[in-house]
Amino acid sequence: MKKKTTVLSCPVDLLDENEALKLSKESIEEKRNFHIITINPEMIMNAQNNSSFFNILNSSDLNIADGVGVKIALKLKGISQNQIRGVDFSRKLIQLASNDKYRVGFLGAKEEVIQKTKENFLKQYPSLEIVYSRNGYFQNDDEIIKEIVDANPQIMLVGLGSPKQEEFIVKLKEKLSGCVMVGVGGSFDVFSGIVKESPEIYRKLGLEWLYRTVKQPERFRRIFPTLPIFLIKCIIDTVIKKG
Ligand code: UDP
């Protein structure tokens, strides 16, 4: 049985990266679809007044704790959970694909980003079977879904930003079989080398968001006031539930 909890009524699975990888592998071997959400405070806040996104968070197969905000929210509930960074988890999935010869697909980001991502992974894993790759700027979801179904990937990384990528995966899941599907946000920008990953010290201190905001100031509006409001709501929620 998977251990689960909720943060502001949204489900979060309590497991480590290796357990998440093991579940992914099992689902591929058993030809089941598996939708993984790397859940962060922005998504949880979005779900508070967007019932269709709330339903998506409740119908996915695994919500892994990304974002230091979720780690802090869990700590407030007395739960110690390591942050599983979406970028790291996706890299592990690619490594798994290379070892176990699973077909992979990439959808998202700008054309030069997705090309460079493909090139970088093939340099690292020359035998990686990339059966699909496409930039994330398109009009007709159904056309793209058909292309992906024809390519038949077993691991599909979708980086369209949230909630677009989760909504897309829900539709894709109805048509595919035996595929692990993960919304990876801006990870392709990192894989391509076009956006620099935050230095390890920032990651260790849980200050990745600060580094990314300084490098891309346009992110400021997304983080503030969402992150502080998220934390205040979590504190209130914890106090009410204890009282
Ligand atoms: N993106 C896309 N299609 C769109 C909108 C965005 O492919 O219609 C891509 C964008 O190029 C970027 C990613 O989605 O690579 C979103 O990155 P963001 O940093 O917003 O995501 P986060 O990691 O914060 O979830």
What are the pLDDT digits (tens) for 24-72?
999 999 999 999 999 999 999 999 999 999 999 999 999 999 989 999 9
What are the pLDDT digits (tens) for 125-160?
999 999 999 999 999 999 999 999 999 999 999 999
**Among 38, 112, 115, 160, which is best to mutate for testing ligand 1, by the most ligand atoms less than 8 A from CB?**
160
Between strands 10-14 and 3-7, the pairing is antiparallel
Nearest CA to 99 out of 36, 33, 25, 156 is that of: 25
For the chain, the structural domain boundaries read: 30-197
Is the minimum distance from the CB of 108 to ligand 1 under 6 angstroms?
yes
CATH topology of domain 30-197: Rossmann fold (3.40.50)
| Minimum CA distance residue for ligand 1 atom 13 | 186
Helix (H) or strand (E) holding 25: helix 17-29
CA 88 to CA 73: how far, in whole Å? 21
Q: Is the pLDDT at 185 greater than 90, yes or no?
A: yes
CA 131 to CA 148: how far, in whole Å? 9
Is the minimum distance from the CB of 110 to ligand 1 under 6 angstroms?
yes
CA 193 to CA 121: how far, in whole Å? 11
CA 136 to CA 185: how far, in whole Å? 11
Cα 179 to averaged position of ligand 1 atoms, centre (Å) = 22
Q: Structure tokens of 200?
A: 């390890």
Q: Which ligand 1 atom is nearest residue 162's CA?
A: 25
- Using DSSP, state whether 38 is helix, strand or coil: strand
pTM of the shown model: 0.96
CA 166 to CA 7: how far, in whole Å? 18
Other CB atoms within 10 Å distance of the CB of residue 162: 19
